[in-house]
């Protein structure tokens, strides 16, 4: 029996692959056998080096997801650059922090454009390709704030709640067409987005005290879940939002 977790011969497009969770996911998919296209406003050169060191191909695609330029071009460039597309990971994310009473319209729009609008239209563009070829995998990156309200991050909370919703919607529409759409909800991860929280000793301690695993997550902690959802092993998994949180939601 062939390995159901193998991604040999597959191509994955990962948005926001230059650092953090996106880099961790891209490298994990490459280690499982996939070639990688990294899309974002910042070139993912370091990620490309890590992917190529695993013997896989890598291409950079310039994409400004704040402005939500036509994302069909990004999907087309991934296919042109690597010959096919089998997996989309909507990882690119943005967070802005302020009290709700003071939150600006620009901070609302920028976060919503990157986190939910671009994810939907990227899924739409990839989905058309996947439906035509008879199958594909879409993995959205949700959050603990897909389940909870959070504090001082109104647009981030709205966008990540929306990610859970469109994951289920697209699964309802496309599961019978061979397209699997699921989401990973990372817990508190040591990335640029949480730098302010980790620098606040009291807030960081309060977070760690609630996590049964007793530590902040690392980008590589998402790798196994991403490989599973991208592989044949997850062919009957549809519309799921899977927490990878060290037990945060269990408390």
For the chain, the domains span 11-242
Domain 11-242: which CATH number of 1.10.3720.10, 3.40.50.720, 2.60.40.10, 3.90.226.10: 3.40.50.720
Residues 6+ apart with CB under 8 A from 64: 41
Instruction: Single out the catalytic residue among 120, 156, 188, 228.
Output: 156
Q: What angle do CA 38, 62, 143 make, to 5 degrees?
A: 55
| Confidence tier at 197 by pLDDT (50, 70, 90) | confident
- Show the DSSP H helices in 96-230 as ranges: 105-112, 118-133, 154-174, 195-199, 201-210, 223-230
Q: In this predicted model, what pLDDT tens digit does every residue of 93-136 receive, in sequence order?
A: 999 999 999 999 999 999 999 999 999 999 999 999 999 999 99
Q: In this predicted model, what pLDDT tens digit does every residue of 128-175 receive, in sequence order?
A: 999 999 999 999 999 999 999 999 999 999 999 999 999 999 999 999
Q: Is the sign of the CA dihedral 121, 174, 147, 24 positive or negative?
A: negative
Annotation says 156 is catalytic: yes
Distance of alpha carbon 143 from the chain centroid: 10
- To the question of pTM greater than 0.75 for the whole model, the response is yes
């Amino acid at each position: 029996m062939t390995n159901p977790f193998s991604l040999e011969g597959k191509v994955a497009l990962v948005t926001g692959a230059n650092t953090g969770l996106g880099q961790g996911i891209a490298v994990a998919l490459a280690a499982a056998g996939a070639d990688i296209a990294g899309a974002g406003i910042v070139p993912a050169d370091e990620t490309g080096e890590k992917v190529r060191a695993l013997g896989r191909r890598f291409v950079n695609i310039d994409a400004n997801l704040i402005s939500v330029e036509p994302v069909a071009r990004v999907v087309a460039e991934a296919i042109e650059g690597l010959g096919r597309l089998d997996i989309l990971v909507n990882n690119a994310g943005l967070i802005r922090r302020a009290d709700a009473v003071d939150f600006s319209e620009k901070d609302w729009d920028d976060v919503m454009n990157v986190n939910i609008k671009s994810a939907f239209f990227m899924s739409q563009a990839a989905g058309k390709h996947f439906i035509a070829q008879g199958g594909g995998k879409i993995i959205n990156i949700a959050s603990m704030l897909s389940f909870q309200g959070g504090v001082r991050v109104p647009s981030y909370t709205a966008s990540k709640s929306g990610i859970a919703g469109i994951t289920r919607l697209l699964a309802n529409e496309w599961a019978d067409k061979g397209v699997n759409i699921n989401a990973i909800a990372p817990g508190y991860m040591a990335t640029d987005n949480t730098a302010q929280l980790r620098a606040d000793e009291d807030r960081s301690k309060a977070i760690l005290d609630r996590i049964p695993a007793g530590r902040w997550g690392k980008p590589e902690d998402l790798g196994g879940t991403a490989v599973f959802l991208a592989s044949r092993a997850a062919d009957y998994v549809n519309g799921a939002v899977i927490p990878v949180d060290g037990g945060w939601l269990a408390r």
